Chain A
């Protein structure tokens, strides 16, 4: 799996290296380069590991997701299993996370009663998104679970039906459509302009932007990292003379972007949950 994780450009290099000199073995493959390959969108369509060509097709992005989910559940289970009144170190960190979601995100948007109602789902969402995002910088996985659009779409659709359901439950079907499509306090003529925009907002743009923002960020992050490290590999092992020095620049960039991706992983989880809270709150409240 390690070689798969290094990305298409380097794996291609590996094959050629292996063909050229099979005697050099693993290091020959690791330290070889057959020219620079810019990463493509094909990065996100790795070969299937199982059930190729069926709906059950299982590739390494799915594997990354499974690992992220398993590790997340395991870690939280380890904390919760022996949760005590006086928290230990692990429980303290976990409680800080829960408090962060509650105080810094959800209670900033909603009243306390509403926050209490939606907090379990929003907390789960935050932790899950962060877990799926962070796999993008974890060695040997090197692929965010959210960088393939399917998972962001599933999460966005969940939030979509959640806020629609809450809106209809709170105001009734007609009431919800009226408050969301015909906002109060606007001259009647403006509705000709406003209502289609609001319709697009509520029914299409909100879930679409949720999913796209997350997926695009993680995709871009992955491509940036692959670009930096592929370039480093090329400059260091293949380029001659002064060009070799460029590898330090690209490596430093890769290092910086790795740190940046860790930040982005947390930031995107924050943004996703923050916006979900806002949408749910808009559906509950009468005026907006």
Chain B
């Protein structure tokens, strides 16, 4: 406040050239500007840059992560598809196997049934043959006596009448029939 009058005096008397700096002007300017530059370049801006870089990294990292996830998903899909194809092939193979096995079983049982049938038929044949043999044998043992009986009967009757002869034979055969049927009924 005491220097107010000096302001007026300075304002009126000054002859200073504003383009020529006073020494004190340069000195203080340098000090202040150097302080600003040092504080900003050594401390403030690097610290800010750290945050900015971190953010850039994070964004980059996020993008990278997304890319990785996408690649992973694609790989999983591919694997899944491969597995599906494999499973399908496996199923087809199993089906094929089952089909061939089934046809094998059918063939086997067919042949077995055929064998059985053949064996049964053979057994029956053998049985029939045996019965025939038996019949032949029993016929052979009986034919003699029957023939002898028949001859005695023929001799006992008159041999002149054909009709009578025929009647004797028929009677014999009827007896024979009755004998056989009686035998059958008994046996």
| Contact A80 B35, beta carbon cutoff 8 Å | no
Q: Chain B: which residue is nearest A76 at the CB level?
A: B44
Smallest distance from the beta carbon of B162 to chain A beta carbons, Å?
Answer: 144
Is A154 close to B, CB under 8 A?
yes
Residues on the B chain within 8 Å of A127, using CB: 40
Task: Report the count of interface residues on A (CB-CB < 8 A).
Answer: 57
| Contact A47 B10, beta carbon cutoff 8 Å | yes
| Contact A150 B40, beta carbon cutoff 8 Å | no
Is A212 close to B, CB under 8 A?
yes
Is B11 close to A, CB under 8 A?
yes
The A interface, classified by DSSP as helix, strand, loop or mixed, is helix
Q: Chain A: which residue is nearest B35 at the CB level?
A: A69
Contact (A43, B21) CB under 8 Å given A65-B28, A121-B41, A150-B28: no
Residues on the B chain within 8 Å of A95, using CB: 52
Is A3 close to B, CB under 8 A?
yes
Residues on the A chain within 8 Å of B3, using CB: 47
Is A285 close to B, CB under 8 A?
no
In chain B, residues 1-39, which have Cβ atoms closer than 8 Å to a Cβ of chain A? 1, 3-8, 10-14, 16, 18-30, 32-33, 35-37, 39
Complex: A123 Cα to B39 Cα, angstroms: 12
Q: Chain A: which residue is nearest B40 at the CB level?
A: A124
In chain A, residues 225-242, which have Cβ atoms closer than 8 Å to a Cβ of chain B? none
Is B72 close to A, CB under 8 A?
no
Contact (A55, B8) CB under 8 Å given A66-B32, A83-B51, A124-B40: no
| Contact B14 A11, beta carbon cutoff 8 Å | no
In chain B, residues 105-143, which have Cβ atoms closer than 8 Å to a Cβ of chain A? none
| Contact B33 A151, beta carbon cutoff 8 Å | yes
Smallest distance from the beta carbon of B24 to chain A beta carbons, Å?
Answer: 4
Which of the residues A66, A85, A120, A153 comes within 8 Å of B21, measured between beta carbons? A153
In chain A, residues 52-100, which have Cβ atoms closer than 8 Å to a Cβ of chain B? 54-58, 61-62, 65-66, 69, 72-73, 76-77, 79-80, 83-85, 94-95, 98
Complex: A12 Cα to B59 Cα, angstroms: 61
Residues on the B chain within 8 Å of A3, using CB: 1, 4
Which of the residues A11, A51, A98, A158 comes within 8 Å of B48, measured between beta carbons? A98
In chain A, residues 99-147, which have Cβ atoms closer than 8 Å to a Cβ of chain B? 120-121, 123-124, 127-128, 145
Is B47 close to A, CB under 8 A?
yes
Is B157 close to A, CB under 8 A?
no
| Contact A14 B4, beta carbon cutoff 8 Å | yes
Task: Report the count of interface residues on B (CB-CB < 8 A).
Answer: 45
Which of the residues A47, A80, A83 comes within 8 Å of B7, measured between beta carbons? A47
Is A22 close to B, CB under 8 A?
no
In chain A, residues 246-285, which have Cβ atoms closer than 8 Å to a Cβ of chain B? none
| Contact A15 B32, beta carbon cutoff 8 Å | no
Complex: A51 Cα to B24 Cα, angstroms: 10
Contact (A154, B30) CB under 8 Å given A55-B24, A80-B48, A84-B51: yes
Most buried by A among B20, B44, B55: B44
Is A149 close to B, CB under 8 A?
yes
Is B54 close to A, CB under 8 A?
yes
Residues on the B chain within 8 Å of A62, using CB: 24-25, 28, 32
Contact (A150, B48) CB under 8 Å given A42-B12, A47-B10: no
| Contact A150 B7, beta carbon cutoff 8 Å | no
| Contact A46 B18, beta carbon cutoff 8 Å | no
Interface string of A4-24 (1 = CB under 8 A from B): 100010011011000000000
Q: Chain B: which residue is nearest A46 at the CB level?
A: B7
Smallest distance from the beta carbon of A114 to chain B beta carbons, Å?
Answer: 17
Residues on the A chain within 8 Å of B52, using CB: 95
Is B146 close to A, CB under 8 A?
no
Is A44 close to B, CB under 8 A?
yes
Is A45 close to B, CB under 8 A?
yes
Which of the residues B22, B25, B44 comes within 8 Å of A80, measured between beta carbons? B44
Interface residues of B (CB under 8 A from A): 1, 3-8, 10-14, 16, 18-30, 32-33, 35-37, 39-41, 43-48, 51-52, 54-55, 58
Q: Could you jot down 16 A-B contacts, CB within 8 Å?
A: A12-B4, A42-B12, A45-B16, A55-B23, A58-B24, A73-B36, A80-B44, A80-B48, A85-B51, A120-B46, A148-B18, A149-B19, A149-B20, A149-B25, A150-B21, A151-B33
